[in-house]
Amino acid sequence: MSDVIARAAPELGSRLRPFGPRHSGRPPASPPGTANRVYVLSRVTLGADVAVTSVLLDAAKRRYPHAEILFAGPRKSYELFEDDARVRHFPFEYARGGSLADRLRASASLWIEDGIVIDPDSRLSQLGLISVSPEDRYFFFPSRSYGGESLDRLPDLAARWAHEVFGVEGARPYIAPRETHVLTADITVSLGVGDNESKRAGGDFERELLRALASTGASLLVDKGGSPQEAALVEQALPRGARTHQGAFAVFASLIRRSKLFVGYDSAGGHVASASGIPVISIAKGFASDRMAARWKPNGVVLDGDDPLLLQKVKAAMSLTPGP
């Protein structure tokens, strides 16, 4: 990938990190004893910012209790931590459009001279390939290689790395969205797949799932997803009496953590529930490997989305979770 960057945007050659995201075995620099500012880069996707980035935010706050902690990334992701008085926003949008060279140049426009930078394997730095700060104040969590071939979860690996590098014990995922006055429900549901249709179970599963949840007598709140297509699918499957949410994800995250059960496809919602200690029934489908599935699983019940007995297993899992 370094060669690709050098060809696509040769003027960025001086910004390529010499050791790449794996550091070629090079141990990270020792962190300073004190810091005025700590920048933690966003992973850009909402679920990853909960499962990984928030662990490193927690570690930064503990390691540097008097420092200004800045979340560098999109506003949509920052809203998940907006109510945390220790965390401020350093706006930086990830370039999604344009050519490869345009996106690389956009990443290279990020340069942080002051403080230290914690990079959770961010798209903002092109997964650690483009330098975004002086190397001696840059700390990269190599999420794709750390932990080797183990099946440990990413939040646990991030916490282990934070202990190894910063000496912080027990860093954990969390969210801190602004509270909303919107009424929550006993069960929050997300059937969004983020444009990855391989995650979606087929047939009438979604309709039957929502009927099964409604049959418990619990109140339902179903997120309508991130596109008109997903919203239409929710409307088609929605049972009578169920309410829907459409809008900012941070608002839905606040509603999840006030509910009693979250059910949905592997998604940001599952990571929010997991980080908030809410029981989870997660439907996992479309992963490239067992290792990837294990890395991203939330705490809770994780069911195989390809299982022909999926609906029955969801019902069985519901019987084991706390009642509404």
What does the pLDDT read at residue 324? 54
Question: In this structure, are strands 138-140 and 68-73 parallel, antiparallel, or unpaired?
Answer: unpaired
Asked whether residue 196 falls in the same domain as residue 153, the answer is no
CB atoms within 10 A of CB 111: 11
CATH code, domain carrying 22: 3.40.50
Asked whether residue 80 falls in the same domain as residue 8, the answer is yes
Asked whether residue 129 falls in the same domain as residue 6, the answer is yes
**Angle of helix 228-237 versus helix 205-214 axis, rounded to 10:** 50
Q: Is residue 31 one of the residues assigned to a domain? A: yes
Question: In this structure, are strands 87-91 and 68-73 parallel, antiparallel, or unpaired?
Answer: parallel
Asked whether residue 210 falls in the same domain as residue 316, the answer is yes
Q: Number of folded domains in the chain? A: 2
Low-confidence ranges of the chain (pLDDT < 50): 20-25
What does the pLDDT read at residue 217? 93
- Residues paired with residue 280 on neighbouring β-strands, in sequence order: 262
Q: Is residue 182 one of the residues assigned to a domain? A: no
Asked whether residue 155 falls in the same domain as residue 281, the answer is no
Phi-psi region of 148 (alpha: psi -120 to 50; beta: other; left: phi over 0): left
Which of 161, 159, 119 is closest to 139 using CA atoms? 119
pLDDT in tens, 137-171: 999 999 999 999 999 999 999 999 999 999 999 99
What does the pLDDT read at residue 21? 45
What does the pLDDT read at residue 27? 53
What does the pLDDT read at residue 235? 94
Which of 154, 96, 162, 87 is closest to 123 using CA atoms? 96
245 sits in which H/E element: strand 243-245
CATH code, domain carrying 195: 3.40.50.2000
Asked whether residue 51 falls in the same domain as residue 161, the answer is yes
With beta carbons less than 8 A apart as the criterion, state whether 123 and 104 touch: no
Asked whether residue 151 falls in the same domain as residue 13, the answer is yes
Instruction: Tell me how far CA of residue 42 lies from CA of 6, 48, 104, 126, 195, in angstroms.
Output: 24, 9, 16, 12, 21
Output the DSSP codes for 35-75.
-SEEEEE--SSHHHIIIIIHHHHHHHHHH-TTSEEEEEE-H
Asked whether residue 161 falls in the same domain as residue 222, the answer is no
Asked whether residue 118 falls in the same domain as residue 259, the answer is no
What distance in Å separates the CA atoms of residue 316 and residue 287, rounded to the nearest whole number?
24
Asked whether residue 90 falls in the same domain as residue 121, the answer is yes
Domain with 29 in it: 2-166
Asked whether residue 84 falls in the same domain as residue 47, the answer is yes
What does the pLDDT read at residue 87? 98
Domain end marker among 113, 135, 166: 166
What distance in Å separates the CA atoms of residue 5 and residue 71, rounded to the nearest whole number?
26
Domain end marker among 102, 134, 166: 166
Asked whether residue 145 falls in the same domain as residue 268, the answer is no
Tokens representing 159 are 């916490």
